[in-house]
Chain A
Amino acid sequence: MRIIPCLDVDGGRVVKGTNFKNLRDAGDPVELAALYDREGADEIVFYDITASHERRETASALARAAAEEVFVPYTIGGGVRTADDMRAMLRAGADKVSVNSAAVRDPGLIDAGAERFGAQCVVLSVDVKRKEEGPGWEVYLNGGRLNTGMDAIGWLVEGERRGAGEFVLNSMDADGTESGYDLDLISSVAEKTSVPIVASGGAGGPEHMISAVRAGAGAVLAASIFHFGEYSIAQVKEEMERSGIPVRRTEAEVQSG
Chain B
Amino acid sequence: MAERLNVAVIDYDAGNTLSVTRALEKVGARVDLTSDPERVGGADVVVLPGVGAFGDCMKKLRERGMDVACGEAFRSGKPFLGVCVALQVIFDDSEESPGAEGLGLLPGSVRRFEAGDLKVPHMGWNELRLVREHPVLDGLDGEDFYFVHSYYPEPAEAADLLGETEYGVRFCAVAGRENLVAVQFHPEKSSRAGLRLYENFLSWSRTL
Smallest beta-carbon distance B53→chain A, Å? 9
- Whether a CB of chain A sits under 8 angstroms from the CB of B190 is yes
Query: Are the C-beta atoms of A71 and B23 separated by less than 8 Å?
Result: yes
Given contacts A72-B146, A249-B144, contact A64 B18 (CB under 8 A): yes
The verdict on A234 contacting chain B, using a C-beta distance below 8 Å, is: no
Q: Known: A248-B125, A249-B144. Is A71-B15 also a contact (CB below 8 A)? A: no
Q: A91-B18, A249-B144 are in contact. Are A71 and B123 (CB under 8 A)?
A: no
Is A162 engaged at the interface, CB distance under 8 Å to the other chain?
Answer: no
Q: Which residues of A contact B146 (CB under 8 A)?
A: 72-73
Which listed residue (A2, A37, A90) contacts B15, Cβ 8 A? A90
Asked if B18 and A120 make an inter-chain contact with CB atoms under 8 angstroms apart, the answer reads: no
Chain A residues positioned under 8 Å from B186 (CB to CB)? 73
- How far in angstroms is the closest Cβ of chain B from A5? 13
A213 to chain B, nearest CB (A): 14
A residues in contact with B23, CB < 8 Å = 71
Cβ 8 A contact of A248, one of B15, B22, B144 = B144
A36 to B123, CA, bound (A): 21
Which residues of chain B from 56 to 111 have a CB within 8 Å of any chain A CB?
none
Query: Within the complex, what minimum Cβ distance (angstroms) separates B1 from chain A?
Result: 21
Check B189 against A71 for contact (C-beta < 8 Å): yes
Contact B18 A67 (CB under 8 A): yes
Q: Return the CB mask of A49-85 against B: 1 if under 8 Å, else 0.
A: 0000000000000001001110111000000000000
Once A42-B125, A91-B18, A93-B18 are accepted as A-B contacts, the answer to whether A251 and B192 lie under 8 Å apart by CB is yes
Please state if B189 and A95 are interface contacts (CB–CB under 8 Å).
Answer: yes
* Bound-state Cα–Cα, A64 to B195, Å: 18
In the bound complex, residues from chain B placing their C-beta under 8 Å from that of A72 are 146, 189-191
- On chain A, the residues within 8 Å of B22 by CB distance are 67-68, 93
Residues of A within 8 A of B148 (CB): 95, 120
Contact A250 B192 (CB under 8 A): yes
> Can you list 12 A-B contacts with CB-CB less than 8 angstroms, sorted by A residue number?
A38-B191, A67-B19, A71-B188, A71-B189, A71-B192, A71-B195, A72-B191, A73-B186, A93-B18, A95-B148, A95-B189, A250-B192
Chain B residues in contact with chain A, CB under 8 A?
15, 18-19, 22-23, 26, 119, 121, 123-125, 144, 146, 148, 186, 188-192, 194-195
Closest 3 CB pairs of A and B: A248-B125, A248-B144, A67-B22
Contact surface of A with B, Cβ cutoff 8 Å: 2, 37-38, 40, 42, 64, 67-69, 71-73, 90-93, 95, 117-120, 196, 248-251
